[in-house]
Chains A and B, each alone.
Chain A
Amino acid sequence: MTRWATPKLASYAGLSAVGLLTAMVSARPELVALTAPFLLALAAGLALATTPRLSADLELDEARALEGDEIGARITIAAATPVDRLELYLRLPRGITPGEGRNPVALHLGAGEQRELELSVHASRWGGHVVGPVYLRAFDALGFLAWEATVEMRRELRVYPREEVLQRVLSPREPQLSSGNEVSRRKGEGIEFADMRQWTTGDPLKRVNWRASARRGELWVNESHPERNTDVILFVDAFAEARRGAEGTLDLAARATAALADAYVGRRDRVGLISFGGILRWLAPDLGAAQLYRVVDALLDTQVVLSYYWKDIDVIPRRTLPPNALVIALSPLLDPRSVGALLDLRARGHDLAVIDVSPIPFTTRPSSGLDAIAYDVWALRRDALRQSLQRSGIAVAEWRVGTPLQFALEEVRAFRRHAVYARA
């Protein structure tokens, strides 16, 4: 432990020295009487001071939690020597706020005493957090000496974004070949009725539509749409974000990504992730609950990292973007690099839908003057950008904080349906 003298020690020592010297010079015993208490306090304080020998341990009830959860934490502190005043502080990272219990706390420990301090922390933001270290500061009985130590105990706490329940998700233009829940537009083996055609050699008898055959005097068979799965790539724009306090566009994008991944994995679709920003992260599409955890874990490490490096989609590995995959981009459309990448994806024929995580609620419009005009121009340019993406055939919907993600998805769905009709 690092020891240091408090200002009180210097004050009392100075008072004692000056008082006794002045008493001798002026030959006034009363001055000795005024000084002696400080000298006594100094001597008593230093005599009682012992270097504390402490050990501490930190435990978290959970290593994984959901946004908004309360997690119990327990600090065990043991003293081999008496500690008159011990101040203890558990450092909490950004995104983890103190809940119940005392932190920081001051307490007394006797020799050989062990205490358990129970407190709770609130997981207020998703992400991979490190709780700790524990800072200790001990004082002697009269506060002349202090000892400080940092107990290097760090506990990892992974906080997963709280997901929204989605009623319906977007369907791709073309599904994959494996079985799944998505009814394909193609004809083949399936449950959903598609059409009828004349019987040909090799058609199984169970597919004969006897009623239609009887009416037409020849054999007709039913055709059906096969149920296929889809490849969905969730594209998170981590180049820039708009943030106000504890909430920002990246938080919304992360929550939406987790909700979409959960919904698609539940439909037995293959889900992949591309975190496109200062640091590029990707996860090749796969299916199953394990993949959902992989996506969410990869999402936790996503953060906005300042970068001036110009990236295009060539940096993304090819296997991460399979043909016919539906790419759902969650972007605040603030950085030209991500907008360029979206246009590039569309130009290469990918089935693309963009959820514009609106930065507008995280900004304040200046009341008047040139700033207000600049703000309005910026908002208009955002509208223009959305329209230009739509003109390129990209379904874009603005999503604002406080509104359900389902609204934005339905807007995208409507655009895509309209676009399909227009092509036909």
Chain B
Amino acid sequence: MLALALLAFGILARYASTIPWSIVLVGAAYLIGREGNSVVDGGAAIIGALLLLSAELASWSIGENPRIKAEPSLVVRRVLTIGALVLGALVVDVLLLGTAAFSGSSGILLVVAGVAAAVAAMALVLRLVRG
């Protein structure tokens, strides 16, 4: 609730610094809820994607200046970009959690390294596509 209130305040006051803090609060609340449970939670993939979606939408809301009239195609483009990003994040998370479930908690360093490598590879591909 505190995270939600903080995010709402940030959007209303157009104060972008509240976004990461509200994300941190949600993450902390999730971790506290998972305390003592050693089984890897598959729902974390959806939560991660939803957190990204909320952060993106909040950033959009705060960053949008009503005085600047945006072309309709620009709005469609942004919606598609955010959608693709959230979908990509969901895929990455599912793969990540699947790998983590097999490797167990001892392989966390490998998981982090794997995530970093996957993300770097995706970035490289995007860069090449962009030309």
Contact = CB atoms under 8 A, between A and B. Distances in A.
Name, among B59, B90, B120, the residue most crowded by chain A CB atoms within 10 Å (CB to CB).
B59
Contacts of A50: 130
B92 A36 contact: yes
Interface in A38-86: 38-41, 43-44, 46-48, 50, 82, 84-85
A366 B130 CA distance: 66
B13 interface: no
A188 interface: no
A238 interface: no
B31 A37 contact: no
Nearest to B82: A142
B49 A108 contact: no
B110 to A, nearest CB: 10
B11 to A, nearest CB: 14
A11 interface: yes
Nearest to A44: B126
B34 A30 contact: yes
A90 to B, nearest CB: 12
A73 B17 CA distance: 39
Given A30-B41, A32-B96, A44-B126, 14 more contacts: A8-B59, A11-B20, A12-B20, A20-B115, A24-B108, A28-B108, A32-B108, A34-B27, A36-B92, A37-B86, A41-B56, A46-B123, A47-B127, A105-B69
B5 interface: no
A296 B4 CA distance: 63
A23 B86 contact: no
Interface in B80-131: 81, 85-86, 88-90, 92-93, 96-97, 100-101, 105-106, 108-109, 111-112, 115-116, 119-120, 122-124, 126-127, 130
B118 to A, nearest CB: 8
Given A7-B17, A34-B27, A105-B69, A29 B111 contact: yes
Given A15-B20, A20-B112, A41-B52, A36 B89 contact: yes
A379 interface: no
Nearest to B106: A27
B40 interface: yes
Interface of A: 6-8, 11-12, 14-15, 18-20, 23-24, 26-41, 43-44, 46-48, 50, 82, 84-85, 87, 89, 102, 104-108, 141-143
8 contacts: A32-B100, A33-B48, A33-B97, A37-B51, A40-B119, A41-B52, A44-B122, A104-B65
Nearest to A28: B31
A143 B59 CA distance: 9
Interface of B: 16-17, 19-20, 23-24, 27, 30-31, 34, 40-41, 44-45, 47-49, 51-52, 55-56, 59-60, 63, 65, 67-71, 73-74, 77-78, 81, 85-86, 88-90, 92-93, 96-97, 100-101, 105-106, 108-109, 111-112, 115-116, 119-120, 122-124, 126-127, 130
Given A32-B108, A37-B48, A47-B126, A26 B31 contact: yes
B112 A24 contact: yes
A40 B70 CA distance: 27
Nearest to B67: A104
Nearest to A14: B20
Contacts of B49: 37
Contact of B109 (A24, A107, A141): A24
Contacts of B56: 41, 142
Contacts of B47: 33-34
B40 A48 contact: no
A303 to B, nearest CB: 29
Contact of A104 (B51, B69, B85): B69
Contacts of A35: 48
A12 B85 CA distance: 14
9 shortest A-B CB distances, which residue pairs? Answer: A37-B89, A29-B100, A37-B52, A43-B123, A47-B123, A30-B44, A33-B44, A106-B70, A47-B126
Contacts of A141: 81
A107 B70 CA distance: 6
Contact of A15 (B17, B23, B41, B127): B23
B130 A7 contact: no
A15 B18 CA distance: 12
A340 B35 CA distance: 89
Given A15-B24, A28-B34, A32-B112, A8 B16 contact: yes
A102 B51 CA distance: 34
Contact of A47 (B40, B109, B115, B124): B124
Nearest to B21: A11
Contacts of B24: 15, 18
A27 B105 contact: yes
Contacts of B17: 7, 11
Contacts of B45: 33
Contacts of A33: 44-45, 47-48, 93, 96-97, 100
